[in-house]
Amino acid sequence: MSIDKNSAAAAAPAPSSNFVRAIVESDLAAGTHKREGLPSVITRFPPEPNGYLHVGHAKSICLNFGLARDYQGRCNLRFDDTNPEKEDQEYVDTIMDSVKWLGFSWEQGGQEHLHYASDYFDQLYEMAEYLIEKGYAYVDSQSAEDMSRNRGNFSTPGTNSPFRNRPVEESLQIFRDMKAGKYKDGEHILRAKMSEDAMSSPIMTNRDPALYRIRHAHHHRTGDKWCIYPMYDYTHPISDALENITHSLCTLEFQDHRPFYDWLVDTLADGGFFQRPVPRQYEFSRLNLTYVVMSKRKLRALVDEKIVTGWDDPRMPTIVGLRRRGYTPESLQLFAERIGVSKADGWIDMSTLKGALRDDLDPKAPRAIAVLRPLKLIVDNFPEGELVECSAPAHPHHPEMGQRSFPFTKELWIEQEDFMEVPTKGYHRFTPPTADKPGARVRLKYGFVVECTGYDKDENGNVTAVHVNYFEDSKSGTPGADNYKVKGNITWVSASHALEAEVRLYDRLFSDPNPDAGGKDFREVLNPNALETVTAYLEPGLRNAEPEQRFQFERHGYFVADRVDSQPGKPVFNRVTTLKDSWGAK
């Protein structure tokens, strides 16, 4: 069976309107961000290199890179690497690979728009000194406990630090000594002073936010050059401004951080560090998907506690896990387009993601036959040692994808569910003969019509084989086939020619749609049936399946040759998804 992995590829989804696109189009019409030599739309995807990306990040990637693509702009990939104790080159590498796999690039016009916050450490430090000199920042020497207590809460205003009015020269000297390594971790911290009454602000993030902390830690890019590191909320807006970002898109949890974002870039623009217009931040709702957890801490717990086999376990919502499961980049782009972009927080059911996946795979996945729970079928009147070649289309709606062929022999494999000793009402597969009627006639799909004549059992009463006779003139595709009218039509493979293969039947990792809601321990709602491994028998052409090649196994769903464990001539298959969403019925 010769199959093109890329045949009948689905077209990219057409973009739909949303409030972010409306903002961008309004800015384009007004010429808000028109600057010589620069696109009028520059976005960025700014992950922290401290973990693996998940499906929520995929939504952000599709939004940021998609806007740049659709409005002839560009999207920067920037690593906000300001926390050296949790960051690693491993995460940088996998993030870059995930963005490329999703179909996006940070290269434009021969230039690579790949950035790191650590590239700006010298400029960030210079701007911090400027803020101190202008009275917009001070060094706070409170203990962490006192600082937390004096910050107040949502119902209680904060209390000014006793160091808030520290002389500029003193703050500047301590800050320089912090940089020189003269203090221990936590001894001092640099904080912003947005206004005289900032500690009374109803917005907690306005209450003298931290700008720099002491961390004697090795950085994966800058080594041991620095022992003070800028905070994310300080670094992010400055990085945006240095990169001429026009629309800084983030999730709703950063909405309260916007006043500081605006204040910081405006203040530094007034100081001559940036040209106007400066970037502006816009928030959209994060992806809340049922039956998964997306907290980095909880995902790491799944890995560290060996609940899953790793970050790329096909049950994980990580991009590497989804890829290994068999998801396509196009299906994730289609999913992101369907769920849209809004400010309304809500939940997206897993079935929406699965639906996008099926819609993408259906027109391009070649068909194949697999018997997952095998039962021997013996054709008693078929000659021993002979075979008849049968054929079927690689795809029923795409004849250009060609034909596949497989042999019909005396012994076959069928599914266990295709035989029933005592049939229930409406059952139209194999049933044995009785005193008052013959055994059921069934068509072996793409093959012959056969009639059940009996069955074998072992000493424990288990059915071990079903016996049938075939009708030689009933082969599918021949004139004689029309002479036989049967209700049952089942899949099968030749016992002597089938490929024996490991098949992994994956399902949702959790049995609860909200596994970490209401204070519950997500470990207590793990789905015990999230993975079942079976030895299956597949039509012989699948022997040459390549890693990441996807198929529809007739009756069973969509499957992919595992990208890690498959070997030449010995593929291992993962179930990507079933043909229909049956989870609600469960």
Determine, yes or no, domain membership for 388. Answer: yes
Res. 110 pLDDT band, cuts 50 70 90: confident
Q: Which of 151, 164, 179, 286 is catalytic?
A: 286
Q: Which residues make beta-bridge pairs with 502?
A: 535
**The pLDDT of residue 472 is above 70:** yes
Residues 362, 324, 561: CA angle, nearest 5 degrees: 65
Evaluate whether residue 47 is within a structural domain: no
Residue 118 near residue 81 (C-beta atoms within 8 A): yes
pTM, two decimals, is 0.92
Residue 287 has pLDDT above 90, yes or no: yes
Q: Which residue type is seen at 186?
A: G
Any known ligand binding at 251? yes
**Does 286 belong to an annotated binding site?**
yes
- pLDDT at residue 241 greater than cutoff 80: yes
| pLDDT for res 14 | 63
Other beta carbons less than 10 A from residue 33's beta carbon: 21
- Strands 210-214, 228-230: pairing is antiparallel
- Identity of the amino acid at 369: I
- % of the chain surpassing 90 pLDDT: 92
pLDDT of residue 484: 93
Tell me the C-alpha to C-alpha distance, in Å, between residue 442 and each of 278, 390, 409, 485, 554: 72, 17, 16, 9, 17
Domain coverage including residue 148: 121-230
CATH number of the structural domain spanning residue 449: 2.40.240.10
Single out the residue of 283, 307, 306, 251 nearest to residue 515, CA to CA.
307
* 447 part of a folded domain: yes
| Residue 127 counted as an annotated binding residue | no
β-strand partners of 191? 138, 210
Domain stops at, among 491, 520, 537: 491
Of 454, 470, 491, which residue sits at a domain end? 491
Q: CA–CA separation, 172 vs 519, rounded Å?
A: 45
Residue 144's SS3 state is helix
The number of folded domains in the chain is 2
- Within 458-584, strands assigned E span 463-470, 488-490, 493-494, 499-506, 531-538, 550-553, 557-561, 573-577
287 belongs to an annotated ligand binding site: yes
At 280, list the tokens: 């502006």
Can 48 be counted among the known catalytic residues? yes
Angle at CA of residue 25, ends 22 and 26, nearest 5°: 85
The tens digit of pLDDT for each residue in 421-463 reads: 999 999 999 999 998 899 999 999 999 999 999 999 999 999 9
CA angle, corner 107, sides to 87 and 326, nearest 5? 65
Domain assignment present for residue 29? The answer is no
Domain end (from 207, 230, 253): 230
Condensed to tens digits (0 to 9), the pLDDT of residues 145-181 reads 999 999 999 999 999 999 999 999 999 999 999 999 9
CA distances from 96 to 16, 255, 299, 317, 335 (A): 27, 27, 20, 17, 21
Residue 224 located in a structural domain: yes
Residue 34 lies in a domain: no
User: Is residue 296 flagged as an active site residue?
Assistant: yes
- Tell whether residue 80 is among the known ligand binding residues: yes
DSSP class of residue 566 equals -
To the query of whether residue 286 is one of the catalytic residues in this protein, the response is yes
Instruction: Tell whether residue 425 is among the known ligand binding residues.
Output: no
Q: How far is CA 14 from CA 10, 17, 216, 335, 351, in A?
A: 12, 10, 49, 12, 21
Q: Which is the catalytic residue, given 21, 48, 179, 215?
A: 48
Which position among 21, 151, 215, 296 bears the catalytic label? 296
Q: Tell me, yes or no, whether 538 lies in a domain.
A: no
Let me know if residue 501 belongs to a domain: no
The pLDDT of residue 360 is 98
Structure confidence by residue, pLDDT tens digits, 497-508: 999 999 999 999
Q: What's the average model confidence in pLDDT over 328-336?
A: 97
